[in-house]
């Protein structure tokens, strides 16, 4: 069984921008129930379907499969919950870990988060200077929730 152990943080400043080139992602959800999500996404010219179970602590089951790009585009257009999540992802290596910084566009413009996958929930790590407040336990920051409650609609 595949498991994902992930922590999520807000990003501060712009120092991270010089560390990686962004890759364009378009993703949508065929099912965004908290018990399970079914996500489809394009990453440049590749496409994937991912099924995730509920988060328990910082861990959840995750299964990912490559799918035909053209079919994914059709599903994003005709089957996925709207709006589609659009973002650039920057992969940044720091202290033996890979941080994924997501800069959101469209209805989630202004949101920038960094995620790091860990081997265990209690794994210690050093946060880069551009990593701010932890939001791992805040469901508003789950990509699946950004569809129904976009960042630009939040009270600031």
Q: Write the pLDDT tens digit of every residue in 37-73.
A: 999 999 999 999 999 999 888 888 999 999 999 999 9
CB 75, CB 60: distance < 8 Å? no
Whether the pLDDT of residue 1 is over 70: the answer is no
29 is catalytic: yes
Whether cis (ω within 30° of 0) applies to the bond prior to 83 is: yes
* Beta-carbon-side half-sphere exposure of residue 20 (alpha carbons within 13 Å): 17
How far is it, in rounded angstroms, from Cα 79 to Cα 82? 9
| pLDDT tens string 88-116 | 999 999 999 999 999 999 999 999 999 99
CATH of 3-153, picked from 2.40.320.10, 2.40.50.70, 2.40.37.10, 1.10.3720.10, is 2.40.320.10
Cα–Cα dist 125/25, whole Å: 27
Q: What is the mean pLDDT of residues 64-90?
A: 97
Q: What per-residue confidence (pLDDT) applies to 95? A: 93
Contact in structure between 94 and 128 (CB atoms under 8 Å): yes
Q: Nearest to residue 63, comparing CAs of 47, 50, 48?
A: 50
Would you say the pTM of this structure is higher than 0.75?
yes
Question: Which of 145, 107, 106 is CA-nearest to residue 8?
Answer: 145
CB 13: neighbour CB atoms within 10 A?
A: 11
CA distance 46 to 66: 8
pLDDT above 90: residue 87? yes
Q: What is the model's pLDDT at position 151?
A: 97
Q: Which of 29, 90, 141, 151 is catalytic?
A: 29
């Amino acid at each position: 069984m595949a498991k994902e152990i992930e922590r999520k943080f807000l990003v501060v400043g712009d120092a991270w921008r010089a560390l990686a080139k962004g890759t364009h992602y378009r993703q949508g959800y065929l099912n965004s129930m908290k018990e399970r999500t079914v996500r489809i996404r394009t990453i440049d010219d590749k496409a994937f379907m991912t099924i995730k179970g509920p988060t328990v602590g910082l861990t959840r089951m995750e299964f990912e499969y490559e799918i035909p790009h053209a079919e994914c585009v059709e599903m994003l257009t005709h089957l996925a919950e709207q709006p589609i999540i659009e973002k650039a992802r920057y992969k940044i290596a720091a202290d033996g870990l890979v941080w994924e910084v997501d800069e959101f566009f469209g209805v989630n413009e202004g949101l920038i988060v960094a995620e790091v996958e860990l081997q265990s929930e209690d794994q210690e790590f050093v946060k880069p200077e551009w990593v701010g407040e932890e939001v791992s336990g805040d469901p508003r920051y789950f990509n699946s929730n950004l569809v129904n409650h976009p960042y630009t609609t939040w009270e600031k």
